Copies of this chain bind each other. A is one copy, B any other.
Amino acid sequence: MMTDVTTQQTAHQTTTESADGEQPATPVNVEQAVHAIADRARTASRIVARANRSHKDKALEAIGEALVANQGAILRANQKDLESGRAKGTSAALLDRLSLSEERIAGLAAALENLAGLPDPVGTIDRGQTLPNGVRLRQVHVPLGVVAAIYEARPNVTVDIAGLALKSGNAVILRGGSAAAHTNAALLGIIRDALDRTGLPADAVQTVDEFGREGANVLMKARGRVDVLIPRGGHDLIQTVVSNAAVPVIETGEGNVHIFLDESADEEMAVDILLNAKTQRPSVCNTVETLLVHKDAKAAAAVLEALSGAGVRIHADARIQGILPQGVSADTASEDDWAREYMDLDIAVAMVDTVDEALEHIRTWSTGHTEAIITNNLARSEEFIAGVDSAAVIVNASTRFTDGGELGLGAEVGISTQKMHARGPMGLRELTTTKWIIQGDGQIRR
């Protein structure tokens, strides 16, 4: 397979410039160019779909090695992005997400190595049987085809999504944040080159970055050309994609996570779980954001004291204000606090009279990610499990367990907060669909 890895660049230039080379790219040209990318991705997807596991794993390892071998070029490109970021006054947190280092590149290579070690979802059989008339049925997992991803200026996502898509037999079209444009272009070139060298089509990994926002818009509308679109990033990015996409979307990552502290909760367990769920990594989606305290919860004082002692800012409703232990202070919580994902050392705390009131609060404010109960009352735990309509419901453990790695799914594409296709941590299996294979020896329907 002698795919020319420079084809993509050339094709874009031809398509986006008009005959006289003077006019800027018009939406029509962008649409044609993005559709052409998607059509090449479709062709490439047919080859990747039929590549066997060892071939795909060899490509993943080759990509990892090439990233390390070319880290000088990657870091130089990254430096350009960081410099323009600094010049534009980008926040330190965003610059940190944008920045790569030798250590981070080694981490990306290690993740690809890990991915190569995971079982191949393609070809696994979901169910099967032989019918009374002798017809043999099997429902087999097959790749989705063309996966698109729209994400923010985090270059690690470029490598991450490309690896996940390849392992699951898909082609991928990427649209990263423009602030990471140089870094992403460098990564793309290395990935495509490694694919080519291992005999897989370079067009299995492409980008529409050069078309900016317009390219992203075309991608979102490319029904029939894009099989699934995965937005990865904050609330605004996800909502923009969900509202504008005409292709199927998997919504990920928003987590307004609740813990209900029941009256019978063990004090030591409650303190351990709350500290872990709030302080271990407050910036991620499975961190707890609201604590609902049963009015008779014996562990309440110890939990509030422990949180406050760990530097967590408490935003409490009036009833919680009335039971604050000595030395613990709290802001007054408003509806804003029930809705907020702080993603920081902040927690909203409200008192409830019953588990039903806790469930009602959760129904009103939850994003459907994860909710937990700490209790020693069996009936109440059952009521909570049945009453919560979220991707994960947890009894007596940290909310931080809602994670593909922790749950043994291997690599994680994201955490789906929707109900269709995938719900909760998405592994490689969720990047596949199924196909019924029906084999007979002349059977007809009677």
Query: A393 vs B438: C-alpha distance in the bound complex, in angstroms?
Result: 6
A56: shortest Cβ distance to chain B, in Å?
15
Query: A440 vs B406: C-alpha distance in the bound complex, in angstroms?
Result: 13
A266 on the B face (CB < 8 A) = yes
Query: A186 vs B396: C-alpha distance in the bound complex, in angstroms?
Result: 50
Chain A, 370-389, contact with B by CB distance < 8 Å: what is the 0/1 string?
A: 00000000000000011111
The answer, among B131, B273, B280, for a CB contact under 8 Å with A442, is B273
Least CB separation from A390: chain B residue: B435
Query: A59 vs B402: C-alpha distance in the bound complex, in angstroms?
Result: 37
The answer, among B273, B391, B445, for a CB contact under 8 Å with A398, is B445
| Chain B residues closer than 8 Å to A228, beta-carbon distance | 419-420
A243 on the B face (CB < 8 A) = yes
CB pair A269–B420 under 8 Å, yes or no, is no
Least CB separation from A268: chain B residue: B442
From A266, A389, A421, A434, name the one whose CB has the most chain B CB atoms within 10 angstroms. A389
CB pair A441–B145 under 8 Å, yes or no, is no
Chain A contributes a number of interface residues (CB within 8 A of B) equal to 68
Least CB separation from A440: chain B residue: B397
CB pair A439–B407 under 8 Å, yes or no, is no
A240: shortest Cβ distance to chain B, in Å?
13
CB pair A433–B419 under 8 Å, yes or no, is yes
Query: A401 vs B136: C-alpha distance in the bound complex, in angstroms?
Result: 11
Number of copies: 2
Chain A, 407-446, contact with B by CB distance < 8 Å: what is the 0/1 string?
A: 1100000000011110111000000011111111111110
CB pair B227–A419 under 8 Å, yes or no, is yes
| Chain B residues closer than 8 Å to A273, beta-carbon distance | 442, 444
CB pair B407–A433 under 8 Å, yes or no, is no
A395 on the B face (CB < 8 A) = yes
| Chain B residues closer than 8 Å to A394, beta-carbon distance | 438-440
Least CB separation from A281: chain B residue: B445
Query: A391 vs B142: C-alpha distance in the bound complex, in angstroms?
Result: 10
CB pair A129–B269 under 8 Å, yes or no, is no
Query: A50 vs B391: C-alpha distance in the bound complex, in angstroms?
Result: 17
A441: shortest Cβ distance to chain B, in Å?
6
Within residues 215 to 242 of chain A, which ones have a CB less than 8 A from any CB in chain B? Answer: 223, 227-228, 242
A392 on the B face (CB < 8 A) = yes
Query: A129 vs B408: C-alpha distance in the bound complex, in angstroms?
Result: 9
Query: A395 vs B436: C-alpha distance in the bound complex, in angstroms?
Result: 11
A137 on the B face (CB < 8 A) = yes
Query: A405 vs B395: C-alpha distance in the bound complex, in angstroms?
Result: 39
The answer, among B246, B387, B421, for a CB contact under 8 Å with A420, is B421
Query: A121 vs B275: C-alpha distance in the bound complex, in angstroms?
Result: 38
| Chain B residues closer than 8 Å to A445, beta-carbon distance | 276, 280, 398, 400-401, 403, 406
Query: A62 vs B387: C-alpha distance in the bound complex, in angstroms?
Result: 27
Quick one: given A50-B386, A248-B420, A419-B227, are A396 and B440 in contact (CB under 8 Å)?
A: yes
The answer, among B248, B419, B439, B440, for a CB contact under 8 Å with A144, is B419
Query: A420 vs B144: C-alpha distance in the bound complex, in angstroms?
Result: 8
A296 on the B face (CB < 8 A) = no
A135 on the B face (CB < 8 A) = yes
Query: A403 vs B446: C-alpha distance in the bound complex, in angstroms?
Result: 13
Q: A243-B246, A398-B445 are known contacts; what are 20 more A-B pairs with Cβ within 8 Å?
A: A129-B408, A131-B406, A131-B408, A144-B419, A145-B389, A223-B242, A269-B441, A269-B442, A388-B435, A392-B437, A393-B438, A394-B438, A396-B442, A397-B442, A398-B443, A401-B443, A402-B436, A420-B421, A423-B433, A424-B434
Which positions in A face B, CB cutoff 8 Å? 46, 49-50, 129, 131, 135, 137, 139, 142, 144-145, 223, 227-228, 242-243, 246, 248, 266, 268-269, 272-273, 275-277, 280, 385-398, 400-403, 406-408, 418-421, 423-425, 433-445
